[in-house]
Amino acid sequence: AQSVTQLDSHVSVSEGTPVLLRCNYSSSYSPSLFWYVQHPNKGLQLLLKYTSAATLVKGINGFEAEFKKSETSFHLTKPSAHMSDAAEYFCVVSRMEYGNKLVFGAGTILRVKS
Amino acid sequence: DVKVTQSSRYLVKRTGEKVFLECVQDMDHENMFWYRQDPGLGLRLIYFSYDVKMKEKGDIPEGYSVSREKKERFSLILESASTNQTSMYLCASSLRGGVQETQYFGPGTRLLVL
């Protein structure tokens, strides 16, 4: 069964406009949720993580995400896109029933137009 | 800063060859992981290790084996490479194995099997 679904495989925005990357998860327990970013030909870098503390999580480079249990969502947002934000973004869940292993979404490629 | 290094960025091998991918981390992390990344599938866990000489299968272990003789080094072995193992391989490490643990990733090895 799919544990994490990224609703868009590609998102295109203009520089200076808001970014929204959508992620839904399925879980019987309180999960830990992460967003990772991968720039071309690079490894993955942690953007932010939710670990059952504050539901609004702030990350690096102006990104933030809000954990909404009622909607089982963990969408990633940024108020104003920059060209350097162009990358692939992965929503990730860590659950006890998976032995604390990470389960990755399929990824969303963000394109930023000048 | 945590540093995870992988021995090669690009590899080209022939079908049937034995292939070794090496990963080294410099932060005394207990856990190490090998993933493969394919377009549209996100990252899938091949094997992981929570201690020296300990290993556990991930979601797609078939055709792979691993070795962890020293804490800082985790090797992925393709016993007899096949074309369907052409992929990007990513190594990661984490301090411990809890639900909230952050995994740190290497830059990846892009393997082409001809």
pLDDT in tens, B61-114: 999 999 999 999 999 999 999 999 999 999 999 987 776 788 999 999 999 999
Closest-CA residue in chain A for B43? Answer: A104
Is the Cβ–Cβ distance between B47 and B76 less than 8 Å?
yes
pLDDT value for A99: 65
pLDDT value for A32: 87
pLDDT for residue A2 is more than 60 = no
Buried b / exposed e over A52-71, threshold 16 CB at 10 Å, is: eeeeebebeeebbbebeeee
- Amino acid A51 reads T
Is the Cβ–Cβ distance between A77 and A63 less than 8 Å?
yes
Is the Cβ–Cβ distance between A110 and A21 less than 8 Å?
yes
Alpha-carbon distance of B96 to A27, in angstroms, equals 22
Is the CB of A101 less than 8 angstroms away from the CB of B48? yes
Is the CB of B107 less than 8 angstroms away from the CB of A96? no
Contacts of B45 in chain A (CB under 8 A): 101-102
User: Which candidate from A31, A46, A107 shows the least CB-CB separation from B102?
Assistant: A46
Is the CB of A106 less than 8 angstroms away from the CB of B101? no
Alpha-carbon distance of A67 to B16, in angstroms, equals 47
Closest-CA residue in chain B for A95? Answer: B99
Alpha-carbon distance of A96 to B80, in angstroms, equals 34
CA triple A66-B36-B1, angle to 5 deg: 60
Q: What is the pLDDT of residues A44-65, one digit of tens each?
A: 999 999 987 788 999 999 999 9
Residue A43 vs residue B17, higher pLDDT: B17
pLDDT band of residue A30 (cuts 50, 70, 90) is confident
Question: What's the length of chain B?
Answer: 114
Alpha-carbon distance of A35 to A59, in angstroms, equals 9
User: Which candidate from A43, A46, A105 shows the least CB-CB separation from B42?
Assistant: A105
